[in-house]
Amino acid sequence: MKVTDILKKEFIISDLKAKQKEDVINELINLFTNDGRVLDIEKVRDSVLEREKIMSTGVGKGFAIPHGKTGAVNEIIAAFGKTISPIEYQSLDNKPVNLVFLLVGKDNLVSTHIKLLSRISRMMNKDDFRERLLKANSSEEIFELFKKEEENYFEV
Question: Which positions are annotated as active-site residues?
Answer: 67
**List of residues 6+ apart from 39 with CB closer than 8 A:** 71, 72, 73, 74
Classify residue 126 as left (phi > 0), alpha (psi -120 to 50) or beta: beta
CA of residue 26 relative to chain centroid, distance: 12
Q: Indicate the residue type of 124.
A: M
